[in-house]
């Protein structure tokens, strides 16, 4: 506790806990990027050029961010890949607010599984020997 802080003041996290929280936030951000990467990989199996796949993934990212901000899209917001991207901030709350972090990990896992499976299925049908 800080000198002069009241008896009811919250203890600040120690250095070890702070390192754990930073690593957790970094892991969350990395996993959040995997959903967009999976979309890009899937689009690369559909497009004839790498630029088309990259721009398609960027378009999906921008569209998701726009829909997250619109009240009219509240029905689909929980299922958008960027909906829980800012949940990394919850690692630095006292106590850690786990609900959005868990939802963020879960939605990214679904996006990665679905789009990588779709990419594999599409790639498997291609004739790459000729």
What's the rounded Cα separation, in Å, for the pair 43 and 111? 13
32 part of a folded domain = yes
Q: For the whole prediction, is pTM greater than 0.85? A: no
34 part of a folded domain = yes
**Number of folded domains in the chain?**
1
**Cα distance between the two ends of the chain:** 70
85 part of a folded domain = yes
62 part of a folded domain = yes
116 part of a folded domain = yes
Judge whether 18 and 91 are in contact, CB under 8 Å.
no
Q: Band of the pLDDT at 47, cuts 50, 70, 90?
A: confident
82 part of a folded domain = yes
**Residue 122 neighbours by CB distance under 10 Å:** 14
Give the residue numbers spanning the domain of 60.
15-124
56 part of a folded domain = yes
Instruction: Please provide the average confidence, as pLDDT, over all residues in the chain.
Output: 87
88 part of a folded domain = yes
DSSP state of 83: T
Residue from 123, 128, 127 nearest 53 by CA: 123
Q: Band of the pLDDT at 1, cuts 50, 70, 90?
A: very low
């Amino acid at each position: 506790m800080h000198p002069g802080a009241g008896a009811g003041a919250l203890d600040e996290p120690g250095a070890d806990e702070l390192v754990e929280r930073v690593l957790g936030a970094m892991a969350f951000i990395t996993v959040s990027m995997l959903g967009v990467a999976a979309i890009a990989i899937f689009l690369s199996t559909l497009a004839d050029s790498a630029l088309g796949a990259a721009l398609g993934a960027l378009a999906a990212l921008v569209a998701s961010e726009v829909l997250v901000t619109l009240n009219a899209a509240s029905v689909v917001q929980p299922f958008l890949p960027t909906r829980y991207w800012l949940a990394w901030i919850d690692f630095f709350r006292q106590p850690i607010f786990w609900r959005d972090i868990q939802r963020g990990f879960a939605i990214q896992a679904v996006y990665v599984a679905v789009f990588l499976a779709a990419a594999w299925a599409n790639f498997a049908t291609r004739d790459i020997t000729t």
